[in-house]
Amino acid sequence: MTSENETNDATRTQHGEHIDTIESVDAVFRQQRKLSFTYGAVFFIVTLFIPLGTVAFQWWHETPIWGGFSLNYLVVSLLYYVFLWGMAWMYSKQADTLDTKLHMENDAGGGV
């Protein structure tokens, strides 16, 4: 059921003044997917480094850095979570910016 401000057909959906076409939705999806895979790769590499660092570098888990804690312990207990929160915040800001940019380009008729 659609209101008078909404129209739907096989190739486009209109919500008020904004029109979503298959092409614009596909373009947004492709760009968001690229952004997601980029951040996923960074997450995977950083997460993988923690156990690999423990195996490969003896100083990573044996040298006391602060208060008897090793660098490995400080990274796992504190810095890793700061990294994850920072990465999540940056991703959400970039995704919102990308969505807004593509939405404005589509509304201006410039395409995507």
Specify if 88 maps to a domain: yes
Count of structural domains, the chain: 1
Which whole-number Å values give the CA distances from 35 to 27, 61, 80, in the listed order? 13, 33, 21
pTM of the model: 0.70
DSSP state of 1: -
- SS3 state at 13: strand
Mean pLDDT of 98-107: 74
CA pair distance 18, 105, nearest whole angstrom:
11
Residue 42 in any domain: the answer is: yes
DSSP-derived secondary structure letter, 10: S
pLDDT tens per residue, range 6-59: 555 666 666 666 667 777 778 888 888 999 999 999 999 999 999 999 999 999
Query: Do 13 and 22 touch, CB atoms closer than 8 A?
Result: no
